[in-house]
Amino acid sequence: MMNGYRLVGDVCLVMGTPIMAWKAYTQGSAEISLTTHLLRALMFATRYIDVFTAPISTYNTAMKCILVANSVAFALFLSWQKYSEMGFKRIAPAAATTASIVLCCLFTATRFTYQFNPVEIMWSFSRILSISSEIPQLIVVSRTPKWEVWTRVYYVALVEHVIFYGANWVHRKAYEGFADPISVACGLAQLAVIFGFSVASQLRSLESNNSSEACKVLFDSKTEYPVDKKGVNVVEEAV
């Protein structure tokens, strides 16, 4: 059933891809992980595999179509952009990493699913994939001393999506008696991953700033040498 928490969560989720697409279009794809967005495209495609076979409502179907179309289109655009910039050597590692993560998540999904059938396994797979899909992007941005504005907005939207969807599950449990433990557990794990990387990145940034300040003080400090009445440096005169 629709409620305000879910609506806000859906809007935050839809915002993620256009934010990164605008960054890639205006500033290039240097700090955008192709692996993450290939995984996100696969995540939405497998999560909403029942979009036409088991429709719930017009809103639900439209939102699923938008998420799948946005993520797939951006993954293709990003692949083309990185190929244009760096050639195949930029695509191959991302494809290998994507395949490895997919196989691990698929194996895990077969162990944690409500029913052992293709649709349910793909649903569990997409939820588990949501945890690991952001890790390549987080690794990329954690290497930079300061997160860019677009990156921050992207992750704020993603975190808000998880928080509001968590509130949605609490609301549905309270008023409908419906619960989805896999979604709740994966949402909490996803939050833990994002906050863990953000804290580690901030600590690294502070450490880097402190090191820079220490070096600046060390190299900018000037030793005062005694001078004689004529203003000649005594040390230079002695040498």
pLDDT of residue 3: 83
pLDDT, one tens digit per residue, over 4-20 is: 888 999 999 999 899 99
Percentage of residues in the chain having pLDDT higher than 90: 23
pLDDT, mean over the chain = 81
In sequence order, what are the beta bridge partners of 233?
227
Listed in sequence order, the residues at least 6 apart from 59 whose beta carbon sits closer than 8 Å to its beta carbon are 2
**Alpha-carbon distance values, 44 to 102, 222, 235 (Å):** 13, 60, 73
- pLDDT computed for residue 233 by the predictor: 39
pLDDT: which is higher, 31 or 208: 31
Task: Please state the domain extents for the chain.
Answer: 4-220
| Distances in whole angstroms, Cα of residue 46 to Cα of each of 9, 53, 108, 174, 182 | 19, 13, 15, 28, 16
- Band the pLDDT of 150: cuts 50, 70, 90: confident
Model confidence at 66, in pLDDT bands (50, 70, 90)? very high
Least confident stretch, 118-127, 162-171, 189-198, 229-238: 229-238
Q: What is the pTM of this model?
A: 0.80
Predicted confidence (pLDDT) per residue in 186-209, tens digit? 989 988 988 888 777 777 767 666
Q: What is the pLDDT of residues 98-125, one digit of tens each?
A: 889 999 999 999 999 988 888 899 999 9
